[in-house]
Amino acid sequence: MKWNWELLDWPKFKYDEAAFTALESRFLTTSGILLGSYKHLEESEKIALKIELMSEEALKTSEIEGEYLNRDSLQSSIRHQFGLPTEHGRIPQAEQGVAEMTVSVYEKWEEALSSKTLFKWHSMLVQGRRDLIDIGCYRTSAEPMQVVSGHVGKRKVHFEAPPSDRMSREMDGFIQWFNQTAPNCEQPLSALIRSGIAHLYFVSIHPFEDGNGRVGRAVSEKALSQNLEQPTLIALARTIEAKRKDYYAALERANRKLEITEWLHYFAETVLDAQAYTIQCVEFLIEKARFFDRIGDQLNARQHKVLARMFSEGLEGFKGGLSADNYISIAKTSASTATRDLKDLVERGAFIRTGELKHTRYHLNLPCFQS
């Protein structure tokens, strides 16, 4: 059976456009809700959200490919890119590179796509790598570019990309398609369809020696931003990583055919899930501000320190709830003082208490944690 790029009509993808009318409407409506919610944040909260979401995306887009980076280093590098103060020391090249690419995608979403842009992203992404021959350029190896799994002798080929001598021609076609389908251009496409095709089209070509998935997701983010006429700041990579097997399965089903309605439906739903998570992040920050407006001036320094630590966990929450031992460790205080502080926080409505004796746990009393 042939790969999609070997088919006669490549790269003329086919899909049921009418099947996405409702999804596209949801995407635009949710984008408006997200923008409206974002405007309610203080400027410091907007910056905090931007840094948190971008560092999370940088982290997760690498985890999808099995590369695990340091969150603190990523945040520090992204803060540095925006000219914000940071206390972190020397940033490892892997974290610095993906952070630079993430910020570049965010800041230069309006620019037309070009091979120069893609080469720059690739150079950022793989800086410091000594195992690659082709950095900041399309791959040149005569060896087949394959996505495989399994042990030697039992390897399964999930995908094989076009040979390297076709890269310039294939990528010229991709870049032309991407720019022609942008809003107000010759053949404009709706946001979800364009972003979904862009990702599949790019990774089907697999133009780089490594980093194709990460650059492909950056291209999809760029497409969404151009259709919205502003940076998206949605948790796309985080949403994909949460169900990584589904992502690879959807790609594998799509890379042998040109009828891609199924792939586009998967991708559209993923984008909508990512939007929903981002809205929850905004609502969390709004609830946090209201929380401290309500009781912030009634708390002692120990309580402030512990609450700040819990809020730093974001929507994921403080895993398993806060124990008295946790409180003692974070606040650097005695058991008797911790008991008084925790009792006070429950009475003020800051915490919800669950369990008894050594199983007692405390949870932030916020609507987003009450589902």
Same domain, 275 and 339: no
DSSP-assigned letter for residue 127: T
Residues 299 and 257 sit within 8 Å (Cβ to Cβ): no
The CATH number covering residue 313 comes to 1.10.10.10
- Write out pLDDT tens, residues 287-336: 888 899 999 999 999 999 999 999 888 877 777 899 999 999 999 999 99
- Torsion-angle region of residue 366: left (phi > 0), alpha (psi -120 to 50) or beta? beta
DSSP 162-200: PPGGGHHHHHHHHHHHHHHTSTTSSS---HHHHHHHHHH
Q: Which ranges of the chain would DSSP assign to H, the alpha helix?
A: 21-38, 43-63, 71-81, 93-107, 115-125, 167-180, 191-205, 212-228, 236-242, 244-254, 261-295, 301-311, 324-331, 335-347
Same domain, 168 and 224: yes
Angstrom distance (rounded) from CA 216 to CA 102: 12
Beta bridge mates, 160: 146
Same domain, 202 and 304: no
Query: Does 64 reside within a domain?
Result: yes
Same domain, 44 and 78: yes
Query: Does 46 reside within a domain?
Result: yes
Query: Does 292 reside within a domain?
Result: no
pLDDT for 371 equals: 56
pLDDT for 88 equals: 66
Same domain, 45 and 148: yes
Contacts of residue 344, defined as CB under 8 A and 6 or more positions apart, other chains included, come to: 303
Please report, as a single letter, which amino acid is at residue 71: R
What are the 10-residue block averages of pLDDT along the chain, 371 residues in total?
95 98 97 90 89 92 93 92 84 94 97 98 94 96 89 82 98 98 97 98 98 97 97 93 95 97 98 94 88 92 94 79 95 97 96 94 84 56
DSSP-assigned letter for residue 235: -
Query: Does 290 reside within a domain?
Result: no
pLDDT for 289 equals: 87
Query: Does 294 reside within a domain?
Result: no
Same domain, 321 and 271: no
Contacts of residue 325, defined as CB under 8 A and 6 or more positions apart, other chains included, come to: none
Angstrom distance (rounded) from CA 160 to CA 312: 43
pLDDT for 136 equals: 97
Angstrom distance (rounded) from CA 158 to CA 13: 20
Residues 177 and 201 sit within 8 Å (Cβ to Cβ): yes
Same domain, 95 and 244: yes
Same domain, 346 and 278: no
Helix, strand, or coil here: 315? helix
pLDDT for 41 equals: 86
Q: What is the dihedral of CA 353, 355, 360, 363, to 10 degrees?
A: -30
Beta bridge mates, 14: 259
The CATH number covering residue 53 comes to 1.10.3290.10
Same domain, 155 and 19: yes
Provide the domain count of the chain: 2
- Torsion-angle region of residue 13: left (phi > 0), alpha (psi -120 to 50) or beta? beta
Contacts of residue 359, defined as CB under 8 A and 6 or more positions apart, other chains included, come to: none
Query: Does 262 reside within a domain?
Result: yes
Same domain, 311 and 214: no
Structural domain range at position 41 = 4-283
pLDDT for 40 equals: 84
Angstrom distance (rounded) from CA 336 to CA 319: 24
Q: Which of 283, 310, 342 is the last residue of a domain?
A: 283
Query: Does 315 reside within a domain?
Result: yes
Query: Does 170 reside within a domain?
Result: yes
pLDDT for 116 equals: 98
- Write out pLDDT tens, residues 217-236: 999 999 999 999 999 989 99
Strand pairing report for 361-364 and 156-160: unpaired
Nearest to 205 by CA among 138, 274, 120, 276: 138
Residues 78 and 54 sit within 8 Å (Cβ to Cβ): yes
Q: Which of 259, 283, 307 is the last residue of a domain?
A: 283
Q: Which of 283, 311, 332 is the last residue of a domain?
A: 283
Same domain, 231 and 332: no
Same domain, 144 and 258: yes
Please report, as a single letter, which amino acid is at residue 187: Q
